[in-house]
A and B are shown apart, each in its own frame.
Chain A
């Protein structure tokens, strides 16, 4: 299998989406959504990061082994964040 060359227009479209998302996340920060400001900002960041991994880093076109490695890394990061937050958030509960 020869190396997959991603077309230039895919890169340009990815870049344009990332720039638009940066503008949107900045503007949304000035709208009061209460708790959802945090949710929206992190959701947009995750969407942007996903685009970078899939298209700029080419994960969409790499062999399955690469995707297994990336997914396992994200899984362990999720373990770290989720279990730490479960611990600290539950400490704040009244006894």
Chain B
């Protein structure tokens, strides 16, 4: 890029009231982190509720947790970690102004995101088939002492709310990645201006972190207790 076109690109990307692109980018990043912290508090409330009920109703939660599909849970964790890697490589391509590389990495990220949701769908349909959906399709009996059906149902309610909210975030994330992929394809980003790519990347990693905690809490923690 020649100096005059670079100056023009900077001119069109810079908005009031920022003094330069650096100032504008740092403000955008800080705003994104503040938004993600509100998301953290929302998921934090759910995690807090889960921890409290897990402590109070431990035998029932233990029994319910054994009905999770550990293989799908572990594979999905790996899928999301890989998608975070392809996302950072896309952001890095944006920082270096490599247009084709941005589009390629973002498409791979979307494919991994879809893989995650597809596997989640397999899990959900299995829960439906074996009557583990609280409220509308729930039938559970256990001979294990101290296990109460209502409390098992509570585990599944928390499971569906937490993984469902996470899946909703994945869907929103896929929409956002689609948007920045199209913008990148159209050449809207340069090494000087690519704030949307960076901030969608931050959102994607946040959603990954939520799953990093959901996986051990819902699938793993109660494996060994008998």
Contact, CB under 8 Å: A81 / B48: yes
Partner of A42, one of B37, B56, B216, B223: B216
| Chain B residues, CB < 8 A from A92 | 55-56
The answer, yes or no, to whether B221 is at the interface (CB within 8 Å) is yes
Give the residue name and chain of the A residue nearest to B194 (CB). A3
* Least distance between A48 CB and chain B CB atoms (Å): 5
Size class of the contact patch on chain B:
35 or more
| Chain A residues, CB < 8 A from B85 | 11-12, 14-15, 56
Additional A-B contact list (19), CB under 8 Å, known A15-B82, A53-B205: A6-B88, A8-B92, A12-B85, A29-B224, A37-B223, A41-B220, A45-B215, A52-B84, A52-B205, A56-B85, A56-B201, A56-B208, A57-B206, A65-B30, A66-B26, A69-B37, A73-B37, A77-B44, A85-B51
Number of inter-chain CB pairs below 8 Å:
134
The answer, yes or no, to whether B15 is at the interface (CB within 8 Å) is no
The answer, yes or no, to whether B40 is at the interface (CB within 8 Å) is yes
Contact, CB under 8 Å: A41 / B216: yes
Contact, CB under 8 Å: A69 / B216: no
Q: Mark B183-226, 1 if CB is under 8 A from A, else 0.
A: 00000000000000000011001101100110111001101110
Size class of the contact patch on chain A:
35 or more
Contact surface of B with A, Cβ cutoff 8 Å: 22, 25-26, 29-30, 33-34, 36-37, 40-41, 44-45, 47-48, 51-52, 55-56, 70, 74, 77-78, 81-82, 84-85, 87-89, 92, 95-96, 201-202, 205-206, 208-209, 212-213, 215-217, 220-221, 223-225
Partner of A49, one of B33, B56, B213: B213
Majority secondary structure, A binding face: helix
Bound complex: CA A32 to CA B223 (Å): 9
* Least distance between B95 CB and chain A CB atoms (Å): 5
Give the residue name and chain of the A residue nearest to B43 (CB). A77
